[in-house]
Structures are given as C-alpha cells and as structure tokens.
Amino acid sequence: MNDWQHQLKKSSLVFNQYFKNLILEIFNGDFEVVEGVTKYEMAKTLDQLAGIDLWYFNPKYGIRGVASRIQFGNKNWRTFTVRKNRESQVSTEYEKRSQAIKKEWLYPILTIQGYFNEQNNTVLGFAIAKTTDILWMIDNGYYYLRKTGIEQIGQAEFYVVKWDEMKGKNLNITIYKEYSGNKKKMVGQIGKSSS
C-alpha cells in the first residue's frame, strides 16, 4: 500500500467512525466516502484531479462533491489549510481548485477540515465551508503561510485560513459545536448555490 492509499484509508476510517455522525447532526442527508462507493482507480482520479473525497447526498437538493482533510494531533487549530506549493513542482490543491472553478471542471463544492486526537480517539473540532469561500479568503489576502515537511522528504507550503476570520466576513461556515442547533438553517446556508 503506497502512502496515498494509506493516508486515504486512514482518513476514510476516521471520518466514518468519528466524524460522520457528528456532521449528520447538522446536515440532512448522508455522506459517503468516495473510496467506499467507487472503484479504486476512479476514487484515486476523483481525489487527485478533482479533490473529491466524499459525496454529500441530500434528498431535497441533490449530490455534491466534498473535500475532506483530517489532521491528526492534539490541537484544534481552527483553520482550513490549502496547499500552496511543494518542492516537486506538481500542481497543488490551490492551483487545481482555482483552475477547476474558472474552467468549469468538477471540484468539491464543500470542504471539511477536522482535527482528531488519535491518542484518545477524540474529535477536537471541524468546520465545513464552501470551497469558493475558502479560495476567496486566500485570493483577498486573508491567510497566513505555513511550511511543513521534512527536508529529506520534501517540504510544502500551505495557505492557512482561520475559521473565525471567515465567520467575521459573514461567509457560510459551519463550525462544530458553534452552530445554532437549527439543522434546517445550517443546511440552507451551505446549501445555497454560489452566486
């Protein structure tokens, strides 16, 4: 199993076991991991070209692709992270999403970022927002940069967008444990199409 497969499987298992039911307390419908309902090669293509890790099924509105990033550690950083560049010069998440939106290719309408403590199997927090809103924050300078990685393996640089700053800009963001408890309201806010 290569690193991509290992990370996908690990994130998929954690999403299904720990995040899914919490998200469904907020959203009507269902979330399915792409890998679980799609053949491996297609799941890999959806992830690598379109950035889609999950399908969101809503009986009233339809189906949406969702990007899911789960970070492991002992802190909820309350941020979305979007890869800006990497040493290998391969196209990054930011470049792929921006181009897909501009050229009208498939991209994840929603992005989920969660934080998970493996030591005690605890969801530390998560947020869900429109991918276009996260990119809007970046394109308008509401981010900071963070480098990660080990020099021998290769470093990457990420745009970091704070959840609270998105909320302050009145963008559609749902932050776990901070939503109003009105399920229909939250689905409607995120469920609106981008204008």
For 93, the 3-state DSSP assignment is helix
Distance, in Å, from the CA atom of 84 to the CA atom of 106, rounded to the nearest integer, reads 20
Q: What is the pLDDT of residue 49?
A: 87
Identify the burial level of 53 via C-beta atoms within 10 angstroms of its C-beta, where 0-12 means exposed, 13-18 middle and 19 or more buried: buried
Q: What is the pLDDT of residue 6?
A: 62
Residue type, 44: K
Distance, in Å, from the CA atom of 23 to the CA atom of 110, rounded to the nearest integer, reads 13
Nearest alpha-carbon partner for 8 in 33, 30, 32, 31: 33
Q: What is the pLDDT of residue 88?
A: 64
Nearest alpha-carbon partner for 129 in 92, 77, 72, 169: 169
Q: Which residues contact 34 (CB under 8 A, 6 or more apart)?
A: 43, 46, 47, 52, 53, 54, 55
Distance, in Å, from the CA atom of 111 to the CA atom of 68, rounded to the nearest integer, reads 6
Phi, psi of 125 (to 5 degrees): 160, 165
Chain segment 86-102, per-residue pLDDT in tens: 766 678 899 999 999 99
**97-101, long-range: CB < 8 A, 24+ apart:** 97/51, 97/131, 97/135, 98/135, 100/50, 100/51, 101/131, 101/132, 101/135
Q: Which pLDDT tens digits describe the chain residue by residue (195 residues)?
A: 555 556 667 888 999 999 999 999 888 899 998 876 667 788 788 888 899 999 999 998 999 999 999 999 999 999 999 999 876 667 889 999 999 999 999 999 999 999 999 999 999 999 999 999 999 999 999 999 998 865 545 678 999 999 999 999 999 999 998 765 555 444 445 544 332
Nearest alpha-carbon partner for 154 in 105, 107, 103, 90: 90
Nearest alpha-carbon partner for 128 in 160, 93, 167: 167
Q: What is the pLDDT of residue 181?
A: 54
Distance, in Å, from the CA atom of 115 to the CA atom of 69, rounded to the nearest integer, reads 9
Phi, psi of 13 (to 5 degrees): -65, -45
**In the chain, what are the domain boundaries?**
3-190
Q: Which residues contact 62 (CB under 8 A, 6 or more apart)?
A: none
